[in-house]
Amino acid sequence: AQTVTQSQPEMSVQEAETVTLSCTYDTSESDYYLFWYKQPPSRQMILVIRQEAYKQQNATENRFSVNFQKAAKSFSLKISDSQLGDAAMYFCAYRSAVLNKFYFGSGTKLNVKP
């Protein structure tokens, strides 16, 4: 089974600064999809960004962007101009293009300091 590793259990960032959350994964598949989800204290799971493995271009959604390194099996999330509302748990997820399963990392808790 694929594994997803988030090695940073908790991180802090000053408001308006930039922070990068790390994610690595292990797979033998060549085609797959990667996601970042945000979970605020409300417990709701919110999709932040999505990346197709066959695309070399890194995905971007407003202040959120990824650094996808396929050979290194790395998928980090960069949050620019951090806001207080960005404080949450962030989960990295892997989806096989063939199988109907999603695999999640253990999460990174992001604190944003005013």
Partner 1 sequence: NAGVTQTPKFQVLKTGQSMTLQCAQDMNHNSMYWYRQDPGMGLRLIYYSASEGTTDKGEVPNGYNVSRLNKREFSLRLESAAPSQTSVYFCASTEGPGGSPLHFGNGTRLTVT
Locate tokens 């990174």: which residue?
108
- Please, which residue, 48 or 114, has the CB nearer to partner 1? 48
- Please, which residue, 9 or 114, has the CB nearer to partner 1? 9
Contacts with partner 1 by CB under 8 A lie at 1, 4, 6, 9, 33, 35, 37, 42-45, 47, 50, 52, 91, 93, 95, 97-98, 100-107
We find the least distance from the C-beta atom of residue 16 to partner 1, in angstroms, to be: 29
Q: Give the contacts of 71 (CB within 8 A, at least 6 positions apart).
A: none
- Please, which residue, 50 or 70, has the CB nearer to partner 1? 50
We find the least distance from the C-beta atom of residue 100 to partner 1, in angstroms, to be: 4
Alpha helices in 26-90 (DSSP H): none
- Taking the chain, what is the end-to-end CA distance rounded to the nearest angstrom? 41
Q: Do residues 73 and 27 touch, judged by C-beta distance below 8 A?
A: yes
